[in-house]
Amino acid sequence: MDILQIVGIGFLATVLILVIREQKPMFAYLLASFVGVAIFLAFVGKIDNVITVLEELAARSGIPTVYLKTMLKIIGIAYVAEFGAQIVRDAGLESIASKIEFAGKMLILVMAVPIISVIVETVLNLLPA
């Protein structure tokens, strides 16, 4: 049911934007971004269920909570960066969109640094000095 509504809103917005774009490209862009934000905000709450399942899984199997927390943060960064980049890309500013994506990638890699350092330390200890 929900998906029908979303698709309907998407179609409506698309038609409106196509009509408006001839006269006022600025409003077409604004409408596109607002529709995007609205859909994103309406359904970003649903991810809560998935995260609950993941947490349960982590608690049951006894994997450290750090793993799960880091993974979820990475997901969040990826989503937000992607969303912003697409909105900017809609306006035709490819270069700024790619910079936003670059920032997201950097943040994800920064998250990986402690893991890498622990692994590298272990491997170095493993080797005979």
- Binding residues vs another protein (CB under 8 A): 47, 50, 54, 57-58, 60-64, 66-71, 73-75, 78-79, 81-83, 85, 101, 104-105, 108-119, 122, 125-126
CA-CA-CA-CA dihedral for 90, 83, 4, 12, to nearest 10: -20
If you write DSSP's letter for every residue of the chain in order, what string do you get?
-HHHHHHHHHHHHHHHHHHHHHH-HHHHHHHHHHHHHHHHHHHHTTHHHHHHHHHHHHHHHT--HHHHHHHHHHHHHHHHHHHHHHHHHHTT-HHHHHHHHHHHHHHHHHHHHHHHHHHHHHHHHHS--
Nearer to another protein, 12 or 109 (CB): 109
Nearer to another protein, 23 or 49 (CB): 49
Nearer to another protein, 92 or 114 (CB): 114
For the bound state, the minimum distance from the C-beta of residue 118 to another protein, rounded and expressed in Å, comes to 5
Instruction: Using the structure block, give the residue that is written with the tokens 């607002």.
Output: 34
Nearer to another protein, 28 or 104 (CB): 104
For the bound state, the minimum distance from the C-beta of residue 92 to another protein, rounded and expressed in Å, comes to 18
For the bound state, the minimum distance from the C-beta of residue 19 to another protein, rounded and expressed in Å, comes to 28
For the bound state, the minimum distance from the C-beta of residue 108 to another protein, rounded and expressed in Å, comes to 5
